Chains A and B, each alone.
Chain A
Amino acid sequence: MRCAGPMPDLLILASLSFSLWISSSFFPNFRVHGLVLVQNFSTLLWHTSIGYPPMNVLEFTGLVFIGSFVAGLLGALTGLGGGVVLVPLLALFFKVDIRYAIGASLVSVIATSSGAAAAYVKEGFSNIRIGMFLEIATTIGALFGAYIAGSVPTSAIAIVFGAMLMYSAYLSRRPRTAKERNVPQDALATRLKMNGSFPEGNGIRHYNVKNVPTGFGLMFGAGTLSGLLGIGSGAVKVLAMDQAMKIPFKVSTTTSNFMIGVTAAASAGVYLARGYIDPGLTMPVMLGVLGGSLLGARILVEAETKWLRILFSIVIAVLGIEMLYKGIIGGI
């Protein structure tokens, strides 16, 4: 019998308790013994949510690390990306100012994109020409987004963020296009040498690309969102490639992952110069997300992720509603 159902949940529990155990050995404030640890952890969570008594830097760093680790793990397991829940996690739960949260999230997005690239590349799905051409649009968009992030009020950023989360949750529930598409050769895409091939089964599958200008325009939008919100905006990138340019889904997702790091680097310079990137906060976020996503990518092959995807998309939707609400009442 295949134990596909409860497996991912068990894995998450196991890794969560493992990271708890690791952090407890680093932080003397946590006790290592079973129940006491759980008790201390829930006490800490409770104190975090009511904001009293104030945590010290050690406790704060430990909790942010654990939260980011779980976000990275879930993001990799479901393929939805962990970056999109980092900012709500930091802003809503840890009460971090949204600008620090965006800075920390953006830097972590570079780490996950680059860290996962080596694994994706071996499979031979990503298309570097499509990626590089579209990066012209995403990097210019990211620079633009990072600039306007400085003059847009934080409540407006929260509202856009909430809408983006709801949209990601909606996209994740849509069926993926896996079937072969017969796309005729497009003059512009052919001139740009975008048509490619990838290994499938025992053979090689060729594909053609179309609607390059539409894809380019959508990529500018994806870059702007990335620079404004500090996320990878992989959902929009995949949408542009899969839906508009008719690129096969596998090629779209791996090429998108490849592009995310370069896109994020384009707004990172502006964020750094503005003082959005705080080392004390970014350290646990970056290390946590990186660790979680690497672990997630490793166990991805065995895990059955259908229920996990549903669960995670509900979490994303709820966070989206709360971000919208906080943005509208001016709580952020």
Chain B
Amino acid sequence: MDGLAGYLLRRLLFLPIALLIVSFATFYITRWGPGDPISVYSGQYRDPEAFERVRHKYGLDKPIYEQYGIWLRDVVTEGDFGVSFRYRDRTIPEILGPKIWVSFRVGLWAFILSFAIGIPAGVLAATKQGNAGDPLIIGSFLFFQSIPVLVLTPILVLIFAAKLHWLPAGGFDGIFSKSIIIPTIVLTLPGLAGIARLARAATLATLHEDFVRTARAKGLRGDVVVMRHVARNSLVPVMTTVVGLSFVGLVEGAIITETLLGIPGVGSFLFESVTGRDYNVILAMVLLTTTLFILANLIVDLALVVLDPRIRAQGGQLR
């Protein structure tokens, strides 16, 4: 497996390079753009001289490349991501840790449900091709996907929280509390269509394969055929590809959902940090998400190679 080990190495080497580039670019964009966190978080007192003194204290008056060098050194040698201007009493890992944990739990059910509902629905739609079933399933999922999160969330809150008082209006109390219901609904619905469609396409592709037709000709029952042969071949590529990309979708969906529902997760925090120019927090989060994305893609590609014999046989279209 020389090729595989080499491939893995190459991909892994890409990670630090990408992080360097990304951190540098983010660093420059945030600091080059106008505005700085000192004036944002200083309340209504505008004392330019005092601001300068405070900027000096935090090293913000140094040239940007020098600041970057200092930051890089601190991160690499001590794991010190710097100070957050929004939460001066906490270190950045202490701030981000709980928030990430909250966002993770909020998205967990949605993630599971997307697959638990999407894949069987997609397979079902494929088998029903030709009837009304197929377009109906996919169509309704597409419909859900078309309703913007911005619209759905306030409506759900209005009905279930304000009017019926069944659910809380927001916040987060844990994965088994009522507060998870609205976010789960809102985060699951848009992703169903994509997953179902992939599952359907993969199933269809396999259904037309020769060996399936052979099996059918031999008289095996339709559903057994589907389960054994189709699922094996279609499930794997579907799952691996989509897992990586659904994660992306969840992260983006989370920003709006968390902001609208007042959930103290990493999505709403990212938005706050950007508008507040909380430099170090922005950097830390960008690095984190970039790392996660790259790793997710890597795992996905690897899984594809390892699990799907067809790709392995071809030598892989490894990019």
Question: A and B bound?
Answer: no
A residues at B contact (CB < 8 Å): none
